[in-house]
Amino acid sequence: MVSYFGNKNILEAHKTAFLCSRKCPSEIVIKSLDWAIKKKNNGQCVISGFHSRIEKDVFNILLKGTQPIILVLARGMKTHWPLEIKNAVKQDRLLVVSPFEQSSTRTTQETANIRNKYMLQIADEIYIPYYTPNGNLDKLIKKIKIKD
């Protein structure tokens, strides 16, 4: 059961998935932040779990822009949101999606893997600036046969 908070019409937009390993070289951090700055006002939807530090930094940049965003949780839907999330939802430019039951209250490696697979299935494009060799993201990429 998938649950939603925000503008479901965003699902119809062309979606670029952003995923990045938790640990990445500093040049990748800079490259990712520059990418987010370019995306934040270009009208193109970005979908991500925005879970790793770099993904959170990208999310914070995107929230300052005007483009639509889809945040996919690796747990059940939350009931309380920070003001910046509520504001983006009120502006009809944010959709929060949870592919988990409400009773799933913690993010685990398993739920993160399910979330990432879900995002990649509904994305039209995928941007992965870095993944750790033999890490979870690398294994997912190989499993669904994404080409670099």
Give me the residue spans of the domains in the chain.
3-144
The CATH classification number of 3-144 equals 3.40.50.450
Band the pLDDT of 123: cuts 50, 70, 90: very high
Tens digits of residue pLDDT in 56-111? 999 999 999 999 999 999 999 999 999 999 999 999 999 999 999 999 999 999 99
Closest CA to 76 of 18, 115, 47: 115
Q: With contact defined as beta carbons under 8 Å apart, do 39 and 67 qualify?
A: yes
Supply φ then ψ for residue 3, to 5 degrees: -115, 155
Question: Where are the alpha helices (H) located in 2-135, listed in sequence order?
Answer: 26-39, 53-63, 83-90, 109-122
Retrieve residue 113's tokens: 């893997």
> What is the value of pTM for the model shown?
0.93
Tens digits of residue pLDDT in 20-70? 998 989 999 999 999 999 999 898 999 999 998 999 999 999 999 999 999
- Residue showing tokens 């009931």: 79
